[in-house]
Structure 1
Amino acid sequence: MKFRRLMAVMVKELRQMRRDRITLAMIIGIPVMQLLLFGYAINTNLRDLSAGIADQSRTSASRALVMDIVATGVVKPVQEAATPQELVESMRRGEISIGIVIPPDHERRRAEGREAVQILVDGSDNAVQSAAAQLAQMPLDGRSSPLATRTISVVGFYNPQRRSAVNIVPGLIGVILTMTMVLFTGVAIVRERERGNMELLIATPVSSAELMIGKVLPYVAIGLVQTTVVLALGMWLFQVPLGGSLLHAYIAACLLIVANLTLGLLISTRAQSQFQAMQMTFFIFLPSILLSGFMFPFAGMPKVVQWMAEALPLTHFLRLIRGVMLRGASLWELWADVLALLAFTTVMMTAAILRFRKRLD
């Protein structure tokens, strides 16, 4: 082994790496991205959970109690209701995560040491249940006696046993579809170019839009097969419930599939090789799984990071699939997230068509 030849190969590799902007970006970008995400964006201490208040007592004591609960910073009142049933309906539609019910005889119940406050919690997210349990242990009006804490009870909906599988399996559909759909189409156009098939396409009257849509449609069927596999195994092995319509669950999956496929097409028009396409896919997948609310609570992230997460299709799909499967909501009640996925698909497909050129270079 000659040292000069070894050095020549090393220098050549370093120069090639320097010319490859995608690889260079991964060398610097991945550690920076993970440091920022785990150090700044991800926070397991939930704050400002959307809450509805049903104060049926409407006394000075009940108002002071509500102020004490809000002062903890765990909840943020966004709705007032007359009855607990209204809070449950709002929770089913995903408008609130926590409902606080103060009965008409609140003061008498507290004096007798009975249940005086009821906290209704959306159990489709285990992190929200944990935050509600901590809130229930806080003393009332500054009192720290066991009698004070026993007057608050927590009622969990949609996953009262707090089984992790119930929360994870619906979200896992979105994670799998994000990873596979973006990757499949991310290498689609690049593979045609590398194999020389692009020359054949150039000689045909196929338009850019027809080529892009034709690339997308076969993978929609593949994505639906993956969705069926996860749903079937989740219901069979882990007894994950289906509270809403199975059709709506498949429609939500279709919305995510198409959104991810169009994103993959846009990547394929930018990448110069299949390896670059896979690298760029990784840059999309990492923030999606960390910021969407699948692994870490969405409400615990800073507002700026939440705004960034709203641009990710997986964020909206998690709200849709958990709403349909666990809370029994319909897609019409979750229309904001449906529109967000449709808008994302339109923008990505338009950008991919505009970037694509039917030529060898």
Structure 2
Amino acid sequence: MNLRRLFAIVLKELRQMRRDRVTLAMIVGIPVMQLVLFGYAINLNLRGLDAGIADQANTAASRAAVMDMVATGVIAPAAEADTPQQLMEMLRRGEISVGVVVPPDFERRVSEGREAVQVLVDGSDTVVQSAAIQLAQLPLQGAAAGGGRPPQAGSGQIAVVAFYNPERRSAVNIVPGLIGVILTMTMVLFTGVAIVRERERGNMELLIATPVSRSELMVGKVLPYAAIGLVQTTVILLLGLWLFQVPVLGSVLHVYLAAVLLILANLTLGLLISTRAQSQFQAMQMTFFVFLPSILLSGFMFPFAGMPRVVQWFAEALPLTHFLRLIRGIMLRGASLWELWPEVLALLAFTAVMMTLAILRFRKRLD
């Protein structure tokens, strides 16, 4: 082995990496991104869960009990209701994660040592369910008014009732999310290399010479992969039902409509990447930068409520974040697509912006 020739090859590779901005970004960006995401943004100790309060007693003691629960930091009041039924509707629509019900005879129940407060929890997220259980250990200070014995912590006066996944099976929470994760990984990657592959094979010049418009070319690139995405959705749904008995409480049609929204959002994002990448390898590198934040910040692996506010703002820009709210709401809580309209609008807006940018970027590269 000639050390001089070996050194020349090493020098050539270093110079080539220096010219490849995407590779340089990955060398520094990947460790920085993982350090920030895992060390700062990821938090399993949930605080500030959105809670709805139905204080039917509306006395000084009941208000003090609610304030004690809020003081734990586990919940944060986000809505008020008159009845438990209203709280259940809020839970089903995903507006709150926890509902607190204080019955009209609150003080008598406390003085008798009976169940005095009921906490309704969206059990479709097992981490949220575990956090809410901490409230059951809170002692209620209200027995003195009724002349009874003050209850001790954990005496069962605060009952936590989990809906949609009372058995706390992880598969019920994970399988619907896997639809989004798999569609994000495959759809962005497929279209991320679409235009680059045409350029590398020499087909781009032929496409430019045809009467096909740029918009028609971009949309035509998207539609075949959309059908593939629906096939993947069907496979996951069937396997989830067969292997893990994951329910579909809502409309199957709405499940597919939600999947179509995510598929289109990811495909247009992939097209934008494809117009920016110089090679298929670069396209795959850029796809990784999209996939890693999506899987870590969307709420699939780690609870969204445990992330800092700034990170939550960033996560709102990711299609997977909105899809997870849609698919879990439809499959696990039986909500309709129209009840979750903010997430629908977010995905439609993302698709429109990404498609517009991809078409504009594609035009500039052809000039």
**Does the TM-score normalized on the shorter chain lie above 0.5?**
yes
Task: Tell me, yes or no, if the aligned pair for 2:113 and 2:151 is still in contact at 8 Å.
Answer: no
Offset at residue 344 of structure 1 (A):
0.1
Matched, 1:335 2:341: yes
The worse-fitting range, judged by mean Cα deviation, of 112-121 and 258-267 is: 112-121
Task: Tell me, yes or no, if the aligned pair for 1:140 and 1:148 is still in contact at 8 Å.
Answer: no
Offset at residue 319 of structure 1 (A):
0.3
> What is the rounded CA distance, in whole Å, between the counterparts of 2:74 and 2:11 in structure 1?
55
Could you say what secondary structure the match of 1:45 adopts? coil
Task: Tell me, yes or no, if the aligned pair for 2:136 and 2:154 is still in contact at 8 Å.
Answer: no
Offset at residue 87 of structure 1 (A):
0.4
Offset at residue 155 of structure 1 (A):
0.5
Relative distance call for 1:147 and 1:25 in structure 2 (3 A) is closer
Hey, which bits of structure 1, 4+ residues long, moved more than 6 A?
Answer: 142-145, 358-361
1:246-297 CA distance string (max 9 Å, x none): 0000000000000000000000000000000000000000000000000000
Offset at residue 140 of structure 1 (A):
3.0
- Structure 2 counterparts to residues 91-102 of structure 1, below 5 A: 91-102=91-102
- Structure 2 counterparts to residues 216-255 of structure 1, below 5 A: 216-255=222-261
| Structure 1 gaps, min length 5 | none
User: What's the counterpart of residue 150 of structure 1?
Assistant: 156
Matched, 1:301 2:300: no
Task: Tell me, yes or no, if the aligned pair for 2:135 and 2:158 is still in contact at 8 Å.
Answer: no
Offset at residue 141 of structure 1 (A):
4.1
User: What's the counterpart of residue 273 of structure 2?
Assistant: 267
Matched, 1:33 2:39: no
> What is the rounded CA distance, in whole Å, between the counterparts of 1:358 and 1:347 in structure 2?
17
Offset at residue 78 of structure 1 (A):
1.2
Task: Tell me, yes or no, if the aligned pair for 1:90 and 1:96 is still in contact at 8 Å.
Answer: yes
Matched, 1:53 2:53: yes
> What is the rounded CA distance, in whole Å, between the counterparts of 1:353 and 1:142 in structure 2?
65
Task: Tell me, yes or no, if the aligned pair for 2:138 and 2:158 is still in contact at 8 Å.
Answer: no
Task: Tell me, yes or no, if the aligned pair for 2:47 and 2:73 is still in contact at 8 Å.
Answer: yes
> What is the rounded CA distance, in whole Å, between the counterparts of 2:132 and 2:142 in structure 1?
18
1:64-120 CA distance string (max 9 Å, x none): 011111111111111111111110011101111100011111111112211111100
Could you say what secondary structure the match of 1:357 adopts? helix
Offset at residue 149 of structure 1 (A):
3.6
| RMSD over equivalenced CA pairs, Å | 1.6
The worse-fitting range, judged by mean Cα deviation, of 290-299 and 147-156 is: 147-156
> What is the rounded CA distance, in whole Å, between the counterparts of 1:67 and 1:359 in structure 2?
60
Offset at residue 199 of structure 1 (A):
1.5
User: What's the counterpart of residue 362 of structure 2?
Assistant: 356
Matched, 1:182 2:213: no
> What is the rounded CA distance, in whole Å, between the counterparts of 1:358 and 1:310 in structure 2?
29
User: What's the counterpart of residue 137 of structure 1?
Assistant: 137
User: What's the counterpart of residue 128 of structure 2?
Assistant: 128
User: What's the counterpart of residue 173 of structure 1?
Assistant: 179
> What is the percentage of aligned positions where both structures have the same residue?
80
> What is the rounded CA distance, in whole Å, between the counterparts of 1:195 and 1:136 in structure 2?
64
User: What's the counterpart of residue 89 of structure 1?
Assistant: 89
The one-letter code sitting in structure 2 at the alignment partner of 1:187 is V
User: What's the counterpart of residue 110 of structure 1?
Assistant: 110
Could you say what secondary structure the match of 2:339 adopts? coil
The worse-fitting range, judged by mean Cα deviation, of 73-82 and 302-311 is: 73-82
